[in-house]
Amino acid sequence: MHSAMSPGFQLGLAGFYLLCAGMNFGFAHVFRSDRIKRGVWGAVGFFFLLHTFLYLTTAAIKPDAGPAIPHAIVDLTNSVFDHFWGPIIYFVASCVGFGLVLWKRRFFTDPTVAIALLNIMLFASGWAMTNADFRSIITKEDNVPIVMLIFTVLFFTWLGLRRAVINDDLIAKNQPVLEKDDEKVLVWPDLVYTELICMVVATALLVVWSVALKAPLEQPATSAKAPNPSKAPWYFLGLQEMLVYYDPWMAGVVLPTFIIVGLIAIPYIDFNQKGNGYYTFKERSFAITSFLFGFLVLWVVLIVLGTFLRGPNWNFFGPFENWDPHKVVPLNNINLSDIFWLNIIGDSRYLETGGSKWIVRELPGILLVLAYLIVLPPVLAKTIFRRYYIKMGFARYFMLITLLQFMASLPIKMVLRWTINLKYIVYIPELFFNI
């Protein structure tokens, strides 16, 4: 292990904890009327302050050592994320967390809970930073925006949900919602002055950022040596993660097209008149859930995955794991045709390649896909989405369901991959067509 702890880093950590302490003292101040809260946040602030002193001391007396995250935790985390279970745990946990937050939104949007979670996150990151592997990934200049993204996305989600919960209560009591305010405001100073301030702050932020973190330029590109891992720009890392499960034509062309088409189509599909201009969850639970699932779970979570957890050879690495390019992860994926003809029927004659033999070979897959796309919507219209179908009419319903099906295709394929090692549902190399 090379020196993870330099005096400079320890001073930085001390500063970080000082900020955390300050924040908690701020909370204590804000909640000064509530004795318990004041006491708790004050105590937490003090706890962070202790860390500050701890690192100030060790920076002085043990410049190259200092307290670091215990090996047991590192090892435990690494073994939890070990090998190919990593993405499953990560994705499933994200989905569960997402469901839990929406379901228990009242609990999670409580400021005390939110602040506690924030404090836990900061505390955990502070200690995690003492691990060299974790830090080297998290502090890479081009990964810094993703760290900011995590906090900002969480904050705004919390903010929306918090207000939605309050509004839902108000609506239930037939009281006006928080945003209920028809008053018009003045261009100057209410609009332009604020914008000016935003411009100034943004400029200052950008200048400070660019001074503090140098442009992450790497060596000249060469055709002989691709960087490992080869990563797309951060905003495409979700797409790149899809490539693990789908062929490029699907992950790179069809699915993104559907994302764009879907976003365009929202106003035409969305027939719900409620929830305009104010936050609500109850009145738009389906719309919010499906959008947030698409945006948070299938987009942001995958970006974070691609940024921090995907290492050389696009292998999954736990947060404390060294990015060793020699790590080999078994890839024993098989095609649906193999599963069907070999494992179920036990007849390899239909597995031949060449010419148009794929028609028979891939028949099960093709039928399955067709069933998914053609049979499923009417079935759903008759069952779960009955109410929607009646309200929306055929065209709008069909559009919605197709979009949802394509959105669902990613988690479906993920689950199939994890459970039965499925490589392709339809595999036609003769036509370069794989699903």
Q: Which residues bind other proteins (CB under 8 A)?
A: 2, 132, 181-186, 189-190, 193-194, 196-197, 200-201, 203-204, 207-208, 211, 217-225, 228, 322, 324-326
Minimum CB distance to other proteins smaller for 33 or for 219: 219
- Return d(Cα 19, Cα 52) in angstroms, integer: 9
- Minimum gap (Å) between residue 203 Cβ and other proteins: 6
Q: 238 with 256: CB under 8 angstroms?
A: no
- Return d(Cα 212, Cα 351) in angstroms, integer: 59
| Cross-strand partners of 222 | 225
- Minimum gap (Å) between residue 69 Cβ and other proteins: 18
Minimum CB distance to other proteins smaller for 9 or for 427: 9
- Return d(Cα 336, Cα 416) in angstroms, integer: 10
Minimum CB distance to other proteins smaller for 134 or for 389: 134
- Minimum gap (Å) between residue 213 Cβ and other proteins: 12
Minimum CB distance to other proteins smaller for 193 or for 268: 193
Q: What are phi and psi of 63, to 5 degrees?
A: -55, -30
Minimum CB distance to other proteins smaller for 160 or for 312: 312
- Return d(Cα 98, Cα 301) in angstroms, integer: 10
263, amino acid identity = L
Q: Cα angle vertex 113, ends 287, 306, to 5°?
A: 60
Minimum CB distance to other proteins smaller for 207 or for 253: 207
Helix, strand, or coil here: 357? Answer: coil
- Minimum gap (Å) between residue 111 Cβ and other proteins: 22
- Return d(Cα 118, Cα 395) in angstroms, integer: 44
**DSSP character string of 291-356:** HHIIIIIIIIHHHHIIIIIB-GGG-B--TT----TT-------B-HHHIIIIIII--GGGG--STT
384, amino acid identity = I
Among 163, 69, 167, which residue's Cα sits nearest to residue 114? Answer: 163
- Return d(Cα 358, Cα 427) in angstroms, integer: 8
Helix or strand run (H / E) with residue 434: strand 433-434
Minimum CB distance to other proteins smaller for 207 or for 370: 207
Minimum CB distance to other proteins smaller for 194 or for 276: 194
Minimum CB distance to other proteins smaller for 70 or for 189: 189
Among 351, 328, 343, 308, which residue's Cα sits nearest to residue 420? Answer: 343
Q: What share of the chain is helix, strand, coil (3-state, %, to 5)?
A: 70, 0, 30
Q: 231 with 240: CB under 8 angstroms?
A: yes
- Minimum gap (Å) between residue 15 Cβ and other proteins: 17
Minimum CB distance to other proteins smaller for 324 or for 352: 324
- Minimum gap (Å) between residue 224 Cβ and other proteins: 5
- Minimum gap (Å) between residue 151 Cβ and other proteins: 20
Sign of CA dihedral 392, 395, 396, 398: positive
- Minimum gap (Å) between residue 321 Cβ and other proteins: 12
- Minimum gap (Å) between residue 51 Cβ and other proteins: 25
Q: 239 with 256: CB under 8 angstroms?
A: yes
Minimum CB distance to other proteins smaller for 189 or for 378: 189
- Return d(Cα 401, Cα 395) in angstroms, integer: 10
- Return d(Cα 432, Cα 104) in angstroms, integer: 46
- Return d(Cα 84, Cα 87) in angstroms, integer: 7
- Minimum gap (Å) between residue 407 Cβ and other proteins: 37
Q: What are phi and psi of 385, to 5 degrees?
A: -95, 20
- Minimum gap (Å) between residue 331 Cβ and other proteins: 20
